[in-house]
Amino acid sequence: MTDELNGDLNSKHIVLGLSGGIACYKAAELARALVKAGATVQVVMTEAAEQFITAVTMQALSGRPVFTSTWDARGVEGIANNMAHINLTRHADAVLVAPASADFMARLLHGRADDLLSLLCLARPIESCPLLVAPAMNREMWAHPATQRNVAQLRSDGTHILGPGSGEQACGEVGDGRMLEPDELLEELIGFFRPKPLAGQRVLITAGPTFEPIDPVRGITNLSSGKMGFAIARAAAEAGAEVTLVAGPVHLATPRGVRRIDVQTALQMFEAVVPQASLHDVFVATAAVADWRPASLSDQKIKKNGSKAAPIFELTENPDILAAVAKQAMHSGRPFCVGFAAESHDLLKHSREKRERKQVPLIVGNLGPATFGRDDNALVLVDAHGHRELPQANKLTLARLLVADIAVRLAAAASSS
Ligand code: CTP
């Protein structure tokens, strides 16, 4: 499932500003991704941006004529009053400047208005049309006190700074200052528009399988892909929470803004979760934790020897992470614990039983074999009063519904205490 297919930016109108920088080539991909996600995109370019990419390319990808000059007399949205700098933002949901060069940010900071893009940023209705900028520059330029001073001032003026990323730069140097990738900017923008019912809350999530080694090359694991847990981490971050994601061995990108701790075994997951659980408001256990691990670990590969029978492994039980956190929560009142039940049959019955056995207020049931590794799922939310079904949908959609449901429960608990 991609953001593009979700239509997450349906009915959003974005002014995409390009200032001068080699990262302009990424803006082409970004414009395409924004359009595919449902947004209408109006591109505005500075003279310097036109040195890196042509307005023709940006027009083709956005499907709209590009504006580059303050003196452009073409009408905007049917208004032909020769005031592009006013008209371009009056119906916009946001201005996103990507790339934002060091020079452009300095000009924004001083309220300069000597080119169309900085002029429209200054003239935009500040309440209804937020400004987001994605810095793109050499690492020394980014680290320079002048730039850092400008970034701090832009933030306090209400500008949202996206990134920058870190890594190899066009000049060959390595460090901070790269523009975020188009898919990262898309994720940031989608998250920016989402409601924030978990603002100020701390959420801890486990995700993926665990891997219990038998010897240096073999182990016990399961088919969990981690996708549901990662989707919940993203949905919680979009909802404004500070999110920590403890992940078993999976190959998934970390959602934007999420702190990730990688672990391999159930014991490592237990150690990463239990000591810090009570510092959180919510704990969501989506991980498919292996119930057993080999009682002993061979430090050398166990060899197949023709004369011997197949080895027999003794197993020992892993600690139950969710039950341990739920026990803490019974004493301290936090975190609010949400368990998952991955079943193969009798989903509602097993989910109810599991909720009582684990002593948690909410269990989310799903059919494991039908969902492991897939992009969609169907959930049933089981609490002390009954159940609610969330029908088949992609995992991000379900994760957002679940997060909204949890936020309502937290708000209800807060108002009754
Ligand atoms: N869980 C956990 N630690 C474990 C086992 C499970 O935190 N050692 C959590 C899972 O993350 C999930 C819930 O407990 O939120 C239920 O996991 P599941 O594997 O469905 O249940 P089990 O307790 O293992 O019971 P069973 O295997 O008998 O269904």
Q: What is the reported pLDDT for 81?
A: 83
Q: For residue 160, is pLDDT > 80?
A: yes
Domains of the chain: 3-193 (3.40.50.1950), 202-416 (3.40.50.10300)
Ligand 1 binding pocket includes 340 (Cβ within 6 Å) = yes
Mutation test residue for ligand 1: of 211, 224, 284, 320, the one with most atoms within 8 Å of CB:
320
Mutation test residue for ligand 1: of 267, 289, 357, the one with most atoms within 8 Å of CB:
289
Interval 132-151: pLDDT, tens: 999 999 999 999 999 999 99
- Confidence (pTM): 0.94
Helix H or strand E segment including 4:
helix 3-6
The atom of ligand 1 lying closest to the CA of 318 is 8
Residues of the chain above pLDDT 90, percent: 83
Ligand 1 binding pocket includes 318 (Cβ within 6 Å) = yes
Q: Which residue owns the Cα nearest ligand 1 atom 8? A: 320
Residue 389 Cα to ligand 1 midpoint, Å, equals: 21
Burial of 62 (0-12, 13-18, 19+ CB in 10 A): buried
Give me the catalytic one of 121, 129, 171, 337: 171
Average confidence score pLDDT of the chain = 94
DSSP one-letter string for 121-169? HHHS-TTTS-EEEEE---HHHHHSHHHHHHHHHHHHTTPEE---EEEE-
| Owner of token pair 């665990």 | 210
306: confidence class by pLDDT, cuts 50, 70, 90: low
The rounded distance, in Å, linking the Cα atoms of 23 and 98 is: 8
Residue 228 Cα to ligand 1 midpoint, Å, equals: 15
Residue 222 Cα to ligand 1 midpoint, Å, equals: 13
Higher-pLDDT residue of 306, 254: 254
Q: Which residue owns the Cα nearest ligand 1 atom 17? A: 341
Mutation test residue for ligand 1: of 268, 322, 406, the one with most atoms within 8 Å of CB:
322
Q: What is the reported pLDDT for 266?
A: 98
Ligand 1 binding pocket includes 284 (Cβ within 6 Å) = no
Q: What is the mean pLDDT of residues 154-178?
A: 94
Helix H or strand E segment including 109:
helix 102-109
Farthest-apart Cα atoms in the chain, separation: 91
* Ranges 3-17, 133-147, 403-417: which has the least confidence: 3-17
Q: What is the reported pLDDT for 106?
A: 97
Residue 79 Cα to ligand 1 midpoint, Å, equals: 61
What would the two tokens of residue 306 be? 């023709």
Per the annotation, the verdict on 129 as an active-site residue is no
Q: What is the reported pLDDT for 1?
A: 44
Strand order in the sheet with 376-382: 259-262, 242-247, 202-207, 282-285, 336-343, 362-367, 376-382, 387-394
Q: Which residue owns the Cα nearest ligand 1 atom 12? A: 340
Interval 67-126: pLDDT, tens: 999 999 888 888 888 888 889 999 999 999 999 999 999 999 999 999 999 999 999 999
Q: For residue 358, is pLDDT > 60?
A: yes
Residue 279 Cα to ligand 1 midpoint, Å, equals: 22
Residue 250 Cα to chain centre, angstroms = 16
Q: Which residue owns the Cα nearest ligand 1 atom 21? A: 341
The atom of ligand 1 lying closest to the CA of 206 is 11
Q: What is the mean pLDDT of residues 150-159?
A: 98
Residue 288 Cα to ligand 1 midpoint, Å, equals: 7
The rounded distance, in Å, linking the Cα atoms of 261 and 147 is: 31
Residue 351 Cα to chain centre, angstroms = 28
The rounded distance, in Å, linking the Cα atoms of 260 and 250 is: 12
Q: What is the reported pLDDT for 84?
A: 87
DSSP class of residue 375 equals S
Ligand 1 binding pocket includes 22 (Cβ within 6 Å) = no
